[in-house]
Every structure is written in structure tokens, then in C-alpha cells.
Copies of this chain bind each other. A is one copy, B any other.
């Protein structure tokens, strides 16, 4: 009952006594506790979490946003920071360490035990975005000569310091990966069976330099709880767990979406409210300005055909629709190709196959839209001013032909740009949209006015 009140109004925590707080911390998942207290004033948080037992304290703390962690740690004594960090999971600990200001890093490092210090040094040595940078060193290992009963005993011992004991890795003398065994298998096997008899010898693994997204997709594809990571000497140095893989995939998705819309920056999850107005501006202006300047090219095309436009004002009427439709069809094919590339369904080698398919789809779309545009111009286009002697039929034919060609070129450009980017080892998502919209606007206007000039401009 008491706890219910605290869930509803976490501010009451600041006036609660130690026993109430301890009971409260035990009552829910640490992630929920963390979420509840993260709404409190920064300076109140640490004094409150201190009432939890040390391991739980570190767990609640680990679930806080990294920014908040850095701020809280900044107000603590280096001894307390070291004690807290010792209890944190190795990967979270390293993430926090990397975010600390250098002066604080130098104060905290000597206060840590040798083992944690080396662990931080090893884990933080890897480039962002690689398996090495997301792995944790809190994994369970076994020797091949143990019996099942001994192995279970060993897992029981290392359980408090391991992210998971459901997978254990069997290592040789040089820490090379000989096999892996699940706790399920251990439980089912005979107590006297030797580990090297029951272990899986074909182990799926990643290398430290592998891309984090690739690692996450592997974990997803094979329904794993964790994937071991080995270094250049083939020695086991860490594992990536399923929950980290989950977060990687979500983060990559946010990145893709933002790249699609021309937003630069860190692409952090759930950062909308946290990011300042100025921060949002800095993330958004580069593409908007670059594309606005590129968009001025379309102005030159219009200027070039100004004479034609002044004679046939009806042409101006269909400019926006033509541009939008090109952007829409191009974005559709780009989205499908980018997604298929990301899921490794296609590679840049499939160019001809994809272009063939897109061409056929585009042809169907072009026919349908051409007929609609023709109808619109022919039946309802009479109101516009044009020189005498020009049949609406000719103008309607020109506009619908231009629209059809625009749909076909936009669709093909939409498919080609991401494939080209992928070929050049660039990120396909960046070139997709909105750069695509601006490019097909330019090609679309050229098609439109060229066809108009040929079919009706021979005045």
C-alpha cells in the first residue's frame, strides 16, 4: 500500500525513511525504480539510491540515462565513484567511464582495483560501433575437463559476476574458444559427463572489429542469448548479450529514420525532449540548406523555359503535382531497396534484377497516373490561358507523357541511388530521401519542359 503511494508520487521518496526506501527498491524491477527516481531533482537521486544494498544500488544506477549518470558521478567523491563502478556491469561501467570528463577519469582510475582498471582499458580500446565496443567481460567460462556437476558448481560461483550463466564458454589454455554449453544442456546431462563430451563444438562467434549491427542481426537470426567475441589471437574477450543486441537494432532503426529525413547528429534513442532547440537546429539545418541550394537548380530550369511557361500557363499548374509524384514514387523504391539492403536480402550486385523489377512496377504506375493526368487536363483544363489554335488534346498528351516518364525515371533513380551508395560503402539511407526528392524534382522539370517544348512549343 505504502509503495503504491510512492509509485504514484515519487517525490514522497525524499522524505521517506531508510526502511521504507529499502522496501520500495526491492518491490519492483530496477528499471522501473530507475525510471521513477530519474524524474526527481539531480541532487536528490544519489542520497536516495544510497539506501539500497550495494549491488542493487549499482543496478538502479546503471538503468539511469548516461547523461544523468555523468552528472551524479560528478558530485561524488572519487572513492564512492570507484565503489559504485566496481558493482556496475563491465559494459555499462566502461560506457560511463568513457563519458566522464578527463579530470574525473584520472581521479577515479587509481581508486579502482587492478582488475576493473584493466577491464576498462580493454573494453574502451575498441572503436565505437564495433562488437568490441558493445561487448561485456562478465561472461562465464568452463574448462573442458570438468564434469557436468563440477561445471554447475562453478557456474553457481561465478553467477553474481556474470551477465548470464545460461550460456558458458569452454576455453583452452590460450583462452581459445573450444565450445559452448547451455545451462539447459548441463541440467539435462548426466552428472558425471565431461564438458568436452557434451559441448557444442561449432560455436557461432563475432570478431572484435565486426560491425555492431551485424552482431545484433546474428543474435536475432539464430535466437541466441549471447554471442562470444574473439580477438585477433582467437581468444575469447567478451560476449554481446541479447538485450544489448535489441538496443543496437532499435538505435540503428532510429538512425535510419533520421537519415531518411536528412537529420544529422548522434541519432540517440529517446532524445527529443532532452535535445535543446539549438541542438535540434544544428542537427537539421545542414541537409535543409544544402537541398534548398540544390533546389535552386530547378529554378534555372524554369527560367530557361520561361518563354514557354508564359505562353502556356497551364504548364505551371501541373508542376507541383509532377514534382510530388516523382518524389513519392522515388521514395517508395528507395525505401524498399534500403530496407532490403539492410536486411541483407539483396546486395549491390543485384542491380539489374532490381532495376528490371522496378521498371515494370514503374511502368504500371506510369500508365495509371498518365491516364488520370490526361483526364484531368483534357476534361477540366479548359480554363487556362493559351495561344489560339492549340488543342487541349495535345497539351493533355504532353503532360501525361511527361508524368509517366517522370514516374519511371524517379523510380529507377530511387532504386539506383541506394545501390550506388552501398557499392561505394556509403550508407544507403543517407542518399535515399530527401536528397532524392530534390534530385527527381530537377530531372522531372527537365523532362516536363523538354517534352512540352517538343510536343507543343513548336510555335
Residues of chain A touching chain B, judged by Cβ–Cβ distance below 8 Å, are 27-29, 31-32, 152, 155-156, 159, 165-166, 183-184, 187-188, 202, 204, 219-223, 225, 242-243, 245-247, 249-250, 253-254, 256-258, 260-263, 269-270, 272-273, 277-278, 280-281, 284-285, 287-289, 291-293, 295-296, 298-300, 302-303, 306, 309-310, 313, 316-321, 323-325, 327-329, 331-332, 334-340, 343, 345-346, 353, 357, 360-361, 364-365, 368-369, 372-373, 376, 383-385, 433-434, 437-438, 441, 445
In contact, A220 and B202 (Cβ under 8 angstroms): no
A320 to B437, CA, bound (A): 11
Given A152-B187, A319-B319, A346-B272; A263-B336 close (CB under 8 Å) = yes
Given A184-B166, A306-B385, A317-B303; A288-B365 close (CB under 8 Å) = yes
Given A295-B320, A321-B295; A220-B247 close (CB under 8 Å) = yes
* Minimum CB–CB distance for A300 against chain B, Å: 8
Copies in the complex: 2
Given A165-B184, A166-B183, A184-B159; A357-B280 close (CB under 8 Å) = yes
Cβ of A183: which chain B residues have Cβ within 8 Å of it? 166, 183-184, 187
The residue in chain B whose Cβ has the minimal distance to the Cβ of A438 is B324
Chain A to chain B contacts (Cβ below 8 Å), 14 pairs: A165-B184, A166-B183, A219-B246, A220-B246, A220-B250, A223-B243, A260-B335, A262-B328, A270-B343, A277-B364, A280-B361, A281-B364, A306-B385, A324-B434
A245 to B223, CA, bound (A): 11
A128 to B243, CA, bound (A): 25
Cβ of A324: which chain B residues have Cβ within 8 Å of it? 291-292, 295, 298, 323, 434, 437-438, 441
In contact, A288 and B369 (Cβ under 8 angstroms): yes
* Minimum CB–CB distance for A419 against chain B, Å: 12
In contact, B291 and A325 (Cβ under 8 angstroms): yes
In contact, A263 and B306 (Cβ under 8 angstroms): no
In contact, A332 and B288 (Cβ under 8 angstroms): yes
A87 to B434, CA, bound (A): 49
The residue in chain B whose Cβ has the minimal distance to the Cβ of A163 is B223
In contact, B272 and A365 (Cβ under 8 angstroms): no
In contact, A254 and B323 (Cβ under 8 angstroms): no
* Minimum CB–CB distance for A225 against chain B, Å: 7
A306 to B246, CA, bound (A): 55
In contact, A285 and B365 (Cβ under 8 angstroms): yes
In contact, A295 and B325 (Cβ under 8 angstroms): yes
In contact, B329 and A284 (Cβ under 8 angstroms): yes
A171 to B166, CA, bound (A): 23
Of the candidates A183, A339, A383, the one having the most CB atoms from chain B within 10 angstroms of its own CB is A339
Cβ of A256: which chain B residues have Cβ within 8 Å of it? 253, 257
Given A188-B159, A202-B27, A246-B246; A345-B257 close (CB under 8 Å) = no
Q: Which of B287, B316, B357 is within 8 Å of A306, CB to CB?
A: B316
In contact, B346 and A273 (Cβ under 8 angstroms): yes
In contact, B273 and A345 (Cβ under 8 angstroms): yes
In contact, A291 and B328 (Cβ under 8 angstroms): yes
Cβ of A159: which chain B residues have Cβ within 8 Å of it? 184, 187-188
* Minimum CB–CB distance for A59 against chain B, Å: 11
In contact, B29 and A204 (Cβ under 8 angstroms): yes
In contact, A288 and B155 (Cβ under 8 angstroms): no
In contact, B372 and A293 (Cβ under 8 angstroms): yes
In contact, A302 and B319 (Cβ under 8 angstroms): yes
Of the candidates A245, A334, A433, the one having the most CB atoms from chain B within 10 angstroms of its own CB is A433
Cβ of A278: which chain B residues have Cβ within 8 Å of it? 364
A28 to B221, CA, bound (A): 14
In contact, A202 and B289 (Cβ under 8 angstroms): no
A289 to B384, CA, bound (A): 24
In contact, A155 and B434 (Cβ under 8 angstroms): no
